[in-house]
Amino acid sequence: MTWKLSGFGDEIDADPVVQLSVLSALGAGFIEVRSAWGANVVDLTDDQLASLGRLISERGMGVSAIASPLGKVDYQSSFDAELHRLSRALSAAHVLGARYIRIFSFYRPAGVAPAAIRDEVLRRLSTMASVAERNDIVLLHENEKEIYGDIPSRVLDLIESVGSDALRVAWDNANFVQVGVKPFTDGYAMLRPHLEYLQVKDAVAATGTVVPAGEGDGELRETLTALRDDGYAGYASLEPHLAMQSSTGGFSGPAEFGRAARAFAALTQEIGVSLA
């Protein structure tokens, strides 16, 4: 069994040439595009997207997903602004040949219960999924902490309530750990029918510190083994966050990114999964 190895290029360097070189050296055939030349993917111009596409194509690589910041804002923020960012993410996906766009389900203010924002979040995600469906793109919801869909039951609520094939799950073990969830124990069986994409990082429950795969409490070995047994054959995208983590993303640098890649490769080798 072979999984498609990818990674967040901007965790390595701002320069996409360096991003691609390091990923290729680590055996990845794909890149997940969050930013290039210091600009977020939804802010890249058409010329920049074309240039980035040429760099990727020249190296014989592909784009696993557009790692957009869509929905990583307050649920009361301008939805017109989010729809504009969605249009730019769709442009990036089409230019770069990506089938997937990562999204989130909106932050709630401190003291506001998740139930209080549910209807508005569902309205927004339903609209976004309809737009994606018309463009033959699949939105991947990532379980970021402090958004509506940060725990398995609310992720399931989103996916089932929207009810669109254009909205699926991007699974992140570390993010679940950071909100007090045991990922495999508490969420895998519930979300596996909707799980489309694997983002690879781990975390320590006591502190929330992000660590290489298998070194934390994210139940990575159990998760990966179950995915293997279920016949998963999709992407595994490295998002190590080993040097820095913030609300807008993270950074590792080439050396730490390499350490994260080797840790993940060791786990997959143990369970008989190849990466390419």
Choice between 252 and 7, residue whose per-residue pLDDT is larger: 7
Query: What per-residue confidence (pLDDT) applies to 254?
Result: 92
What's the pLDDT tens digit per position in 224-254?
999 999 999 999 999 998 876 666 677 778 9
Whole-model pTM? 0.96
Q: 112 vs 17, 107, 139, 148, CA distance in Å? A: 43, 10, 26, 11
Alpha helices in the chain (DSSP H): 16-25, 46-58, 79-96, 114-134, 152-162, 173-177, 189-191, 220-230, 253-270
CATH superfamily for domain 2-275: Divalent-metal-dependent TIM barrel enzymes (3.20.20.150)
Confidence (pLDDT) at 247? 60
Would you say 202 and 213 are in contact if contact means Cβ atoms under 8 Å apart?
A: yes
In tens, the pLDDT along 136-181 reads: 999 999 999 999 999 999 999 999 999 999 999 999 999 999 999 9
pLDDT digits 0-9 by tens, 8-43: 999 999 999 999 999 999 999 999 999 999 999 999
What is the pLDDT at residue 245? 66
Q: How far apart are CA 31 and CA 22, in angstroms?
A: 10
How many other β-carbons are positioned within 10 Å of the β-carbon of residue 125? 26
pLDDT of residue 251: 76
- Among the listed residues 114, 145, 155, the one whose alpha carbon sits nearest the alpha carbon of residue 246: 145
